[in-house]
């Protein structure tokens, strides 16, 4: 079987590095080119040292890109939309890992990103990238826009509840605790080790851009409100979303189990983690490092209608590169687990 | 005895976990009072009866997580 020829645009960042790692070991893929303007001419493994002896590819400039079957775009936000015509001419299929084509509404994009979208007429050409929600659309998609990491954990955690109209639409509070790799590989004063180490830094208490994606995917035609906060903590990979919702009716935990089982029982990368004994009773991001799993747990407050949903992922995997590869597998009709079977490490 | 075992193989005995609602297979030879673990929620369960097959939560040692 002929391999799918792919190239990665913007391959020197953490997401790009993870994607290269996954694609190099995918049995149906050949990585043709990887671009980086900052590191043109250098070996890919110079920037991603975990790939030593896995590839001899060198970074090229995006201006030198040759046509291929599919392009993965790992560019900074607000880059893809300004070059999209060129990319479309180079490849019939595109998976964009930036935020440029996640939102369907031009006005929502402007509201949350603070500037006009360069190509609003293309927003509806892209399928939103969470496979568990848009699997059928992905099978015939030409263009996919991978979801934000915080949004992915939040949406997957809450999707069964909103889909079944079980929660008060006005009162959803999500608190995400996130690792430093979410901030990318560009240094700043705040990422300097003496400043970053040991922090519990409330970096976006309100108005995080991922809120827009969460609203888009959970509204089901209704007006809903989601109150989202993000806190940086002292881990490199992973994030934990703690979501507080208020149930419209008094469901018992057994009924909530049933709802989650119905939604995710057959999903290869979603696990319901809610155990009555042991150390890891609820989702723990540490155990998910390098995996494509999203672990979801919940606990109903016995004294109120509050339900706490806890969702964990590796932000670079299920929140970025892993999710994109799962979508790629669906696009080409491969088993969607291909290249994503790593079960994680314990202890770590 | 042989007939009973044959029946067990044909129709796998299942009991519902009282905590999470999972349908749990009771392995051949399960006896009343035996302890099993729910594969979904990890709760330790005690086989209460085989006809009909039912299980209940086994008494657990409390752990103090709130100090």
Percentage of chain A exceeding pLDDT 90: 93
Residues A315, A182 contacting (CB under 8 angstroms): yes
Both A170 and A53 in one domain: the answer is no
Question: Cβ contact (<8 Å) for B41 and A257?
Answer: yes
CB contacts, 8 Å: B42 with chain A: 275-278
- Whether the per-residue pLDDT at B1 is higher than 50: the answer is no
A336 lies in some domain: no
Task: Name the average pLDDT for chain A.
Answer: 96
Is the preceding omega at residue B52 within 30 degrees of 0, hence cis?
yes
Both A231 and A167 in one domain: the answer is yes
pLDDT at A261: 97
- Please tell me the distance in Å from A72's CA to the nearest CA on chain B: 37
Find, among A333, A8, A348, the residue nearest to A141 by Cα.
A333
The mean pLDDT value for A302-317 works out to 97
Residue A17 parent element (H or E): helix A14-24
pLDDT at B63: 59
pLDDT at A83: 97
Both A49 and A88 in one domain: the answer is yes
pLDDT at A314: 98
Tell which wins on pLDDT, A191 or A57.
A57
Both A92 and A176 in one domain: the answer is no
Hunting for tokens 């964990």 — which residue is that?
Answer: A312
> CA-CA distance, A135 to A93, in Å (whole number)?
16
Phi, psi of A306 (to 5 degrees): -75, 135
Residues A324, A20 contacting (CB under 8 angstroms): no
Find the radius of gyration of the CA atoms of chain B.
14
Boundary of a domain, candidates A110, A125, A140: A125
CB pairs under 8 A between A and B: 33
Q: Which CATH architecture has domain B12-57?
A: Single Sheet (2.20)
> Residue A181 is part of which domain span?
150-315
A342 lies in some domain: no
- Assign A97 a pLDDT band (cuts: 50, 70, 90): very high
Both A227 and A109 in one domain: the answer is no
Is the preceding omega at residue A347 within 30 degrees of 0, hence cis?
yes
Q: In what order do the strands lie in the sheet with A201-204?
A: A201-204, A226-232, A172-178, A239-246, A306-313, A294-300, A270-272
pLDDT at A179: 92
- Please tell me the distance in Å from A167's CA to the nearest CA on chain B: 20
Q: What is the pLDDT of residues A29-84, one digit of tens each?
A: 999 999 999 999 999 999 999 999 999 999 999 999 999 999 999 999 999 999 99
Both A205 and A156 in one domain: the answer is yes
The mean pLDDT value for A333-342 works out to 98
Q: What is the pLDDT of residues A233-242, one digit of tens each?
A: 999 999 999 9
CATH of the domain at A161: 3.30.360.10
> CA-CA distance, B30 to A12, in Å (whole number)?
57
Structurally, chain A folds into a number of domains equal to 2
pLDDT at A116: 97
The mean pLDDT value for A109-117 works out to 97
Both A193 and A243 in one domain: the answer is yes
Question: Cβ contact (<8 Å) for B20 and A257?
Answer: yes
- Whether the per-residue pLDDT at B6 is higher than 70: the answer is no
Question: Cβ contact (<8 Å) for A277 and B40?
Answer: no
Q: Which of B21, B22, B42 sits opposite A276 (nearest CB)?
A: B42
Tell which wins on pLDDT, B57 or B61.
B57
A347 lies in some domain: no
Q: What is the pLDDT of residues A267-294, one digit of tens each?
A: 999 999 999 888 999 999 999 999 999 9
Active site residue A149: yes
Percentage of chain A exceeding pLDDT 70: 100
CATH of the domain at A84: 3.40.50.720
**Which pTM does this prediction carry?**
0.94
Phi, psi of A32 (to 5 degrees): -90, -55
Bridge partners for A167 per DSSP: A247
Q: What is the pLDDT of residues A124-159, one digit of tens each?
A: 999 999 999 999 999 999 999 999 999 999 999 999
Q: Judge whether B46 is closer than 8 Å to chain A, CB to CB.
A: no
- Please tell me the distance in Å from A15's CA to the nearest CA on chain B: 33
Q: What is the pLDDT of residues B9-28, one digit of tens each?
A: 556 799 999 999 999 999 88
Both A25 and A85 in one domain: the answer is yes
- Whether the per-residue pLDDT at B8 is higher than 70: the answer is no
Q: What is the pLDDT of residues A166-183, one digit of tens each?
A: 999 999 999 999 999 988
């Amino acid at each position: 079987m002929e391999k799918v020829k792919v190239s990665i645009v913007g391959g020197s960042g953490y997401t790009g590095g993870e994607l290269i790692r996954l694609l190099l070991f995918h049995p149906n893929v050949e990585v043709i080119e990887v671009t980086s303007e900052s590191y043109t001419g250098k070996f890919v493994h110079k920037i991603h040292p975990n790939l030593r002896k896995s590839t001899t590819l060198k970074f090229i400039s995006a201006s030198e890109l040759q046509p291929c079957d599919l392009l993965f775009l790992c560019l900074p936000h607000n880059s893809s939309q300004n070059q999209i015509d060129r990319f479309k001419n180079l490849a019939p299929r595109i998976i964009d890992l930036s935020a440029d084509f996640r939102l369907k509404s031009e006005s929502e994009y402007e509201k949350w990103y603070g500037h006009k979208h360069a190509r609003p007429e293309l927003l509806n050409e892209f399928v939103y990238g969470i496979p568990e929600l848009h699997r059928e659309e992905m099978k015939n998609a030409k263009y996919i826009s991978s979801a934000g990491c915080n949004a992915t954990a939040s949406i997957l955690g809450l999707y069964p509840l909103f889909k079944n109209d079980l929660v008060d639409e006005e009162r959803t509070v999500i608190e995400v605790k996130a690792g430093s790799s979410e901030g990318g590989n560009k240094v700043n004063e705040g990422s300097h080790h003496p400043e970053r180490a040991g922090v519990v830094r409330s970096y976006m208490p309100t108005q995080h851009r991922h809120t827009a994606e969460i609203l888009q995917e959970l509204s089901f035609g209704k007006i809903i409100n989601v109150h989202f906060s993000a806190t940086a903590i002292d881990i490199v990979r992973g994030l934990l979303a703690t979501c507080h919702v208020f149930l419209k009716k008094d469901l018992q935990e057994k009924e909530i189990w049933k709802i989650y089982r119905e939604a995710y029982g057959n999903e290869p990368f979603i696990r319901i983690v809610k155990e009555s004994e042991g150390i890891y009773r609820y989702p723990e991001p540490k155990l998910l490092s390098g995996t494509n799993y999203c672990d979801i747990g919940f606990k109903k407050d016995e004294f109120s209608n509050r339900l706490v949903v806890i969702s964990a992922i590796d932000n670079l995997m299920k929140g970025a590169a892993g999710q994109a590869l799962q979508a790629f597998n669906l696009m080409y009709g491969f088993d969607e687990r291909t290249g994503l079977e790593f079960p994680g490490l314990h202890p770590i | 005895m042989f007939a009973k075992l044959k029946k067990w193989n044909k129709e796998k005995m299942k009991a519902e976990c009282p905590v999470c609602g999972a349908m749990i297979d009771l392995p051949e030879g399960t006896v009343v009072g035996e302890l099993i673990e729910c594969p979904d929620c990890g709760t330790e369960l005690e086989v209460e009866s085989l006809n009909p097959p039912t299980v209940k939560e086994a008494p657990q040692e409390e752990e103090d997580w709130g100090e």
